[in-house]
Amino acid sequence: MKKLRMFLANLGHRRPLYPMVTPPMGIMCLAAYLRTKFDLDIKLANQRETNCTNEELARQAVDFEADIVGFGSLTPSGHGFAPLTGMVRAGLPNALILLGGPHVTSFGARALADTTANAAVAEEGELAFEQVIRAYFDGGDLGHIPALIWRNVDGEVLTNPGTMPPIENLDSLPFPAYELIDLPKYWRLQSMPPLPRRRYVSLVSSRGCPYHCSWCHRIFGKKFRMHSPERIVDEIEYFQRIYGVDDFEFLDDIFNLDHSRLMAFCDLLHRRNRRIKIAFPNGVRTDILTQEDVNALADAGTYFASFALESGSPRIQKLMGKNLNIPRFVQGVEMAVKRGIFANGFAMLGFPTETEEEMRQTIDVASNSMLHTASFFTATPYPNTTLYDHVSKIHPQQLAKLTYKDTDFCQISVNLSDVPDEVLFACQRRANRRFFLNPKRIYRILRDYPQPHLLPLYIPNYLARVTKGLLGPGKT
């Protein structure tokens, strides 16, 4: 096969109130994998970092004269697929245009329908992308690729039967292609809050999660697959050497699922004398954290982690399929904080059938815990989740109202609970005020905030939370 030119982009925009961006791991992983299989000249773009318009992004793909154009997106930005593919198709009539990422995993064939892309890949992307390139450029047939969503010569959108097998040995994958992005630009922008701007590298050390939280994505399936401790430490050493950074964040869904891997990883860091800082902005599963885990993580350099409570109500925990042991959650946070880890919490209000009393339980557990900061999100059902299926049975009229376009953190578009909208919004305002306007908590934030000289950058975020709703009927 001749050398091919490939343009991959991650869609989305930063907005003043939601300025966060992380290195685009999805397209960096795909680029790194595909170039081990084909002779490729690759260009990556992250629209969420540059904030460029769709027109500019499409122009970049066309000016690059790409043979392959791949767009990955989360659902709030998935509406970009149609205009972007239209513009790229006009400029590159023969290019292979492929869609993927969380939006395709959620929306399936609907994500491809109103676009001019050739095909769309749900879930893990590497193997499917490879097969699509082979089929498209080597005279194969897209109709034979398991689970592929594609458009036939008559323009019909079809979904192939079967499933693409997950990559069993994650260590067989190369390091993400960081050299194809301008990493220092990310150091000047806000990453996952409340972490400050800093010189860091994001890593993903596992895929899949065996738990069954009803709102959660199915991108990497239910089987937990992981990099070995050796591979993670090799990757850390490599990026330390290339970028001179000592701050690493793991975007894993559940880094701490395997206790022995966690211990071996921390031990290996120690044996190789790696002094680094570690953050888990996407959270650890708190009720399985042991004191031994916390000690090992803290000794290895962990300074920040998120802890997902979601609900303080045992009934809602069961209903949402998370089944978190709430006393152990409180204890896990306390263990971490006592070992010097800055603790951020995630909670959700407005779950189907949730009562005001159950929301109060969540506010109580979060506010009485040792969390430093917390977000009180609204339960939002994404298609292809059990929450969505449940809501489509009990609240079809609410689902019909739901709009995902450009929604970001904390923006409510639907109330699934048993209480009227104004009660839900009042609970959210109360949650933020009770949690954040606690003098002891304010003192602990000031005392423990990672990189105190950057604390002023966190103040707007803090003020936004405690003033929500004061200037009008704002939804959260």
Among 34, 72, 89, 433, binds ligand B12 (CB under 6 A): 72
Q: Which amino acid appears at position 186 of this protein?
A: Y
Among 25, 189, 216, 399, binds ligand SF4 (CB under 6 A): 216
30 binds, among ligand B12, ligand SF4, none (CB under 5 to 8 A by kind): ligand B12
Among 4, 6, 7, 10, binds ligand B12 (CB under 6 A): 10
Q: Which residue is nearest to ligand B12 (CB)?
A: 100
Number of residues that bind ligand B12 (CB under 6 A): 43
Q: Judged by CB under 6 A, does residue 349 bind ligand B12?
A: no
3-state secondary structure the chain: CCCEEEEEEECCCCECCECCCCCCHHHHHHHHHHCCCCCEEEEEEEHHHHCCCHHHHHHHHHHCCCCEEEEECCHHHHHHHHHHHHHHHHHCCCCEEEEECHHHHHHCHHHHHCCCCCEECCCCCHHHHHHHHHHHHCCCCHHHCCCCEEECCCCCEEECCCCCCCCCCHHHCCCCCHHHCCHHHHHCCCCCCCCCCCCEEEECCEECCCCCCCCCCCCCCCCCEECCHHHHHHHHHHHHHHHCCCEEEECCCCCCCCHHHHHHHHHHHHHCCCCCEEEEEEEECHHHCCHHHHHHHHHHCEEEEEEEEECCCHHHHHHCCCCCCHHHHHHHHHHHHHCCCEEEEEEEECCCCCCHHHHHHHHHHHHHCCCCEEEEEECCCCCCCHHHHHHHHHCHHHHHHCCCCCCCCCCCCCCCCCCCHHHHHHHHHHHHHHHHCCHHHHHHHHHHCCCHHHHHHHHHHHHHHHHCCCCCCCCC
80 binds, among ligand SF4, ligand B12, none (CB under 5 to 8 A by kind): none
Binding mask 19-38 toward ligand B12 (x if CB under 6 A, else -) reads -xxx-xxxx-xx--------
Query: What minimum distance in Å lies between the beta carbon of 100 and ligand B12?
Result: 2
Query: What minimum distance in Å lies between the beta carbon of 282 and ligand B12?
Result: 4
Q: Judged by CB under 6 A, does residue 254 bind ligand SF4?
A: yes
Q: Which of residues 235-274 bind ligand B12 (CB under 6 A)?
A: 251, 253
Q: Which stretch binds ligand SF4 (CB under 6 A): 40-48, 60-68, 205-213, 261-269?
A: 205-213
Q: Which stretch binds ligand B12 (CB under 6 A): 117-125, 292-300, 431-439, 455-463?
A: 117-125
Nearer of residues 367 and 380 to ligand B12, judged by Cβ: 380
Among 60, 214, 282, 428, binds ligand B12 (CB under 6 A): 282
Q: Which of residues 408-467 bind ligand B12 (CB under 6 A)?
A: 408-409
Among 285, 390, 395, 441, binds ligand SF4 (CB under 6 A): 285
Query: What minimum distance in Å lies between the beta carbon of 202 and ligand B12?
Result: 7
Q: Which stretch binds ligand B12 (CB under 6 A): 87-95, 215-223, 268-276, 438-446?
A: 215-223
Nearer of residues 61 and 226 to ligand SF4, judged by Cβ: 226
Nearer of residues 109 and 288 to ligand SF4, judged by Cβ: 288
Specify whether the CB–CB gap between 313 and 354 falls below 8 A. Answer: yes
Which residues of this chain interact with ligand SF4, rule CB under 6 A?
Answer: 209, 211, 213, 216, 253-254, 285, 322
Which residues of this chain interact with ligand B12, rule CB under 6 A?
Answer: 10, 12, 20-22, 24-27, 29-30, 48, 70-72, 74-77, 98-103, 106, 121, 124-126, 129, 192, 204, 216-217, 219, 251, 253, 282, 377, 382, 408-409
